[in-house]
Structure 1
């Protein structure tokens, strides 16, 4: 099971979310289904970014793939905890 590692943008908000969604959809369409998202450089995420992640998570589940979130800093992690998405995603 090879996974594709993707570095998340510093600010994962409206401007970056649409392009990220398109890139992920393209990767899935090419047959990829296992992803590790590296949040080490990400300092902000908004509701649009969270929505994109949920959509990608659902697609990965539908094709028996995986979406792992990695290296989330405490500020961004607080957003995942407040929205209870820390219970949905596999976070390492």
Structure 2
């Protein structure tokens, strides 16, 4: 079981998420189901970005896979806490 490591863009918002979602969906279609998302460059996430992450999470769980988030800065972590998604995702700071 190898994790696929992916870097989240600086602004994970409506302009950036489509390409990212397509990449992940292609990987899932090819049999991948374990992902580690690196937020070290990410300084902003909006509701579209959160929605994409929830969709990826659901697909991974359906396939008995995993989704881990790490290196979230305080501002991005605040969004996860406000939306209570910090209770859903495996977040490693």
User: TM tier, shorter chain?
Assistant: over 0.9
Which residue of structure 2 aligns with residue 57 of structure 1? Answer: 57
Give the Cα–Cα distance (whole angstroms) in 1 for the partners of residues 2 and 19 of structure 2. Answer: 23
Within 5 Å, which residues of 2 pair with 1:17-36? 17-36=17-36
Q: In the TM superposition, what is the alpha-carbon distance from 1:38 to its structure 2 partner? A: 0.2
TM, length-normalised to structure 2: 0.98
Gaps of 5+ in 1: none
Structure 1's consecutive aligned runs of 4 or more residues displaced over 6 angstroms after TM superposition are none
SS, match of residue 9 in structure 1 = coil
Within 5 Å, which residues of 2 pair with 1:1-92? 1-92=1-92
Gaps of 5+ in 2: none
TM, length-normalised to structure 1: 0.99
Give the Cα–Cα distance (whole angstroms) in 2 for the partners of residues 80 and 20 of structure 1. Answer: 19
